[in-house]
Structure 1
């Protein structure tokens, strides 16, 4: 059998380099302590986004302006995402 070609070692080096960059993002996870348990920041942002979207939904329903938010299957998930990202930018940007 011939010795392994240089292509395999280059592939191994490139995989190791990519793995290093990917794993470096896992070094410091932002979290908040609640009663001794740690929860990630994004969890609070999603909950806040859902709560704020429900509030907006109720306000629009009370004003009978909910017809402006059509199609609902697209608008409300997008609104949850927008509000969750806004909460993250306001409260958890380090």
Structure 2
């Protein structure tokens, strides 16, 4: 490939790297997806406790898959609510 094409490809691929969303915590910057994943996991644990108290946990066919999807939904909702531009 000619050098100009390679240079253009690198420029296009790195164009989205200008503003990486990050969160300042514990004296360092963390990527926002890490915070969203943590919130999603905590949210899935809370949903599991609620399901156990409502006796819905025994009725779930694939519990692990359900709770992974709940965590993913909460993480994506958090990302869209707080970090979308």
Deviation at 1:23, TM superposition (A): 1.2
Moved over 3 A (4+): 12-16
Corresponding residue for 1:89? 80
Compare CA radii of gyration and give the structure with the larger one: 1
SS in 2 for 1:39: strand
Corresponding residue for 1:71? 62
Deviation at 1:49, TM superposition (A): 0.3
Corresponding residue for 1:42? 33
TM-score, L = length of structure 2: 0.83
Corresponding residue for 2:22? 31
Could you tell me which runs of 5 or more consecutive residues in structure 1 were left unpaired when the two chains were aligned.
1-7
Corresponding residue for 1:20? 11
Equivalent residue for 1:51, pick from 42, 49, 52: 42
SS in 2 for 1:25: helix
Q: Number of aligned residue pairs: give it.
A: 85
TM-score, L = length of structure 1: 0.76
